[in-house]
Structure formats: structure tokens, C-alpha cells
Amino acid sequence: NGSVLMEGQKMSKSLKNIIPLAQAIDRFGTDPLRLSLMITAEPLKDADFSTELAKSMADNLERFYNGAMEIVKAPTTDDVELNGIDRWMLSRLQGYIREANEAMTEMKVRKTIHAALYNLNQDLDWYRRRVEAYRDRGDRRRAVQHVLRKVTEAQVRLLTPFTPHICEEIWEAMGNEGFVAFAGWPEPDEELVRLDSEELESVIRASIEDVQKIVNVTGIKPGNVHFYTADGWKWKVYLKALELSEAGKLDIGTLIRESFKDDELKARQREVPAYARGVVE
């Protein structure tokens, strides 16, 4: 049996740091209160309540709720054509579902919440930023809405054990029947895992951040930014390495043999082995 601390201290009348449960619910809300207690609790560790953390949880859940309600209002369809950033978001979602599953199996509640709320929201913010410029186009609007709804549905199910009231409300607004508490815990869909999309997006993101740093340091305001990329054959070798790595079969010899099955790469007998060695190392 553990205790609940108040900002690192034991609660006592002498310290005047006791907040009656009814007052805490009125002040912070039921779900923010639950979440702020659970996110500080781990096996063999006391929960450490903080009023600032509870306020932060309330702000995070309000943002989550408002964003989810905007998503469920828009029409959606599964008949969409996804592009690279869409596949990236859905692939990242599978990773967070897997991470949350593993954490919950080990009763690591804090890690589960971080995966399902904080980390997933960070990627969701990036996705929204990347699609903002063209999301109002008819074809792209449908694809973006499809992705956002898939993410929201999974996130609601992941957060239900911690914030049941807000999740049940969103679940109903999505048009689902029954309670989300009985809908089942999400499982990762391996068909949506796209390491190539994740790797490509990491390159894009790093490039954007590098440009921003250069702009900040130099103070210039470029009208256009030109990127010079590696030859196409190098990308073929690199993506082949990702496939082999995912299958647990990556080594220099295997990568070279698999690369030489491609006629373009086979014609580069001297260049491919040297590049493959650098990729593996």
C-alpha cells in the first residue's frame, strides 16, 4: 500500500497541505485529477500530487477534447489516397500503441500516459503543421480527416483507463455504440507500419530545423531554399537496409547481395559496397 504525497511531502494537518477530495474535484475536474495522480505513480512508488500538475493536466485534456470534437464534426471516409506524411502519422501511431501496450503489461502507468498523450500529441502537432498548407484541397482534406479520426479513435481508447469521462463523451460524439470502456484496448496494425515513411519524415524534419537555425543565426530572410539530395541509387540501398533491419537480417554481405538484385545497383559494382558498408556501420 502506497501513500499520496503533496508536492513531495506527506499530507498532514500541521503542514496544512491537505485538499479534501470533493474540493479537488471541484477545483480541477475528475479526469484531470485522476490523470495527475496516475502520471506520478509507478509500482513501488508513492503518487506525488501537485496543484500545478493538475492544472497542466486540465489544460492538456481541454485541448485534447476540443481538438477531438473538431475532428468528429467533419465527415470522414476510408476511401482515401494517403501520401508520405499520412503514412508517417499512421505508422507513428502504431509505435505509440505498441509502446503503451508494453508499458501497461508491466504496470508502468506513467510511461503509458506519456506515449498516449504527450508523445502522440507532439507528432500530431507536427502532422497538422505539415498538412496545413494544402489540407483544404478536396482530395487532401479527406485524407487528412481520415488520418486524424484514426488517431483520435486510438487515442481515446488508450486514455480511457485514465480519463474515462472525457473519453466516453468523445466516443459517443464519434457515433460509436456502447461504452469505449468495453471497446477493447487498441492493438498495433503492422500493415500500417512504414519505416521508410518515418525515416523520410525524419530527414524532412531535420532539414527544416537546420534551415530555421541558419536563418536565426544569419538573420537572412530567403525567398527560396534549395536542397541538394543524394543520388537516387543511394536511396535504394538505404531503404533496402531499412527493410533488412526491420526483418533482423541486416549485415554488409546481405545488404550488398540484395542491392545487386536491382539492375541499376548491379551496374555500380564499385560504389555500392563502399556505400553499403557506411550505411551498416
Q: What is the pLDDT of residue 168?
A: 96
169-178 mean pLDDT: 94
The pLDDT mean for the chain works out to 87
Residue range 108-151, pLDDT digits in tens:
888 999 999 999 999 999 999 999 887 778 788 899 999 999 99
Q: What is the pLDDT of residue 232?
A: 84
Q: What is the pLDDT of residue 151?
A: 97
Cα–Cα distance for residue pair 21/35, rounded to 1 Å: 14
Residue range 18-74, pLDDT digits in tens:
666 687 787 878 898 888 888 877 766 666 667 788 889 899 999 999 999 999 988
Q: What is the pLDDT of residue 43?
A: 65
Ranges 121-125, 159-163, 204-208: which has the least confidence: 204-208
User: What is the value of pTM for the model shown?
Assistant: 0.76
Residue range 89-100, pLDDT digits in tens:
999 999 999 999
More confident site: 14 or 120 = 120
Q: What is the pLDDT of residue 91?
A: 97
